[in-house]
Amino acid sequence: MRKRVLFVVLGILVAAQFIQPDRSVPAFDPANDLLLATNAPSDIRQLVIGACYDCHSYQTTYPWYGRLTPLNFIMQDHINEGREVLNFSLWDRYAGGEAAGESGETIQEGEMPPGYYRFMHGHGKLTAAQQQQLITWFNGVSGGEGGPGGESEAEERE
Ligand code: HEC
């Protein structure tokens, strides 16, 4: 009897692996990418892609365990939510520099990347120096030339 229950549970787990969330992304213009549009230097590109792009862009790199049900659904949920609040692949949508300023803030406050992500991904762990580098860069995009422009926190601080 016990054995039978075990086989049923195992069977369900195996069958569940064939149920996968929708990972498709809509057509988008690569030219509207944050890093391209701002002509970001390569060290910044690497940091932002490593720490933010899995959830805030259409360029998600899925880890091998990202196919495991039910982890895949939890992961896709975070990604969909991340893309909804901020999508660096659609940077043309964020005029005014606010999104860049906010990005710097969430890094400064240690909110982004999320703790569970830093725990799981080496490339999500930013050193204090890397954090500062990103904060400075995002603040520059938020107020400086080459960014979407508009009101900026950099100006407010002056
Ligand atoms: C593991 C997925 C994930 C990663 C990686 C990630 N984010 Fe997020 N981010 C989210 C989710 C989910 C939300 C929405 C819920 C929330 O605010 O916690 C969010 C919200 C935000 C917001 C809006 C905050 C607000 O208060 O409305 C900003 C800005 C942001 N992220 C910037 C970043 C930046 C910059 C990075 C990289 C340094 C990053 N995120 C990395 C998932 C992620």
pLDDT in tens, 52-106: 999 999 999 999 999 999 999 999 999 999 999 999 999 999 988 999 999 999 9
Q: What residue owns the CA closest to ligand 1's atom 9? A: 82
Q: How far is the CA of 30 from the centre of ligand 1 (A)?
A: 21
Residues 6+ apart with CB under 8 A from 89: 28, 30, 32, 33, 34, 57, 58, 59
Q: What pLDDT is attached to residue 96? A: 82
Question: Which residue's CA is the closest to the ligand 1 atom numbered 1?
Answer: 117
pLDDT at site 156: 45
Whether residue 153 contacts residue 108, with contact meaning beta carbons closer than 8 Å, is answered with: no
Angle at 77 between CA 88 and CA 79, to 5 degrees: 20
Quick check: CB of 112 below 6 Å from ligand 1? yes
Determine the Cα–Cα distance for residues 14 and 123; give it in Å rounded to an integer. Answer: 31
Would you say residue 51 has pLDDT above 50?
yes
Q: Please state, in angstroms and rounded to a whole number, the distance separating the CA atoms of residues 42 and 34.
A: 13
Does the C-beta of 81 come closer than 6 Å to ligand 1?
A: yes
Q: CB 145: neighbour CB atoms within 10 A?
A: 7
pLDDT of residue 144: 56
Tens digits of residue pLDDT in 3-32: 999 999 999 999 999 999 999 999 999 999
pLDDT computed for residue 157 by the predictor? 45
Angstrom distance (rounded) from CA 55 to CA 87: 8
- What pLDDT does 155 receive? 44
Ligand 1 center to residue 82 CA distance, Å?
6
* Cα–Cα distance, 61 to 55 (Å, whole number): 9
Q: Which residues contact 57 (CB under 8 A, 6 or more apart)?
A: 33, 34, 83, 87, 88, 89
- The Å distance, Cα 102 to ligand 1 centre, comes to 10
Cα(85)–Cα(89) distance, integer angstroms: 12
Does ligand 1 have an atom closer than 6 angstroms to the CB of 123?
A: no
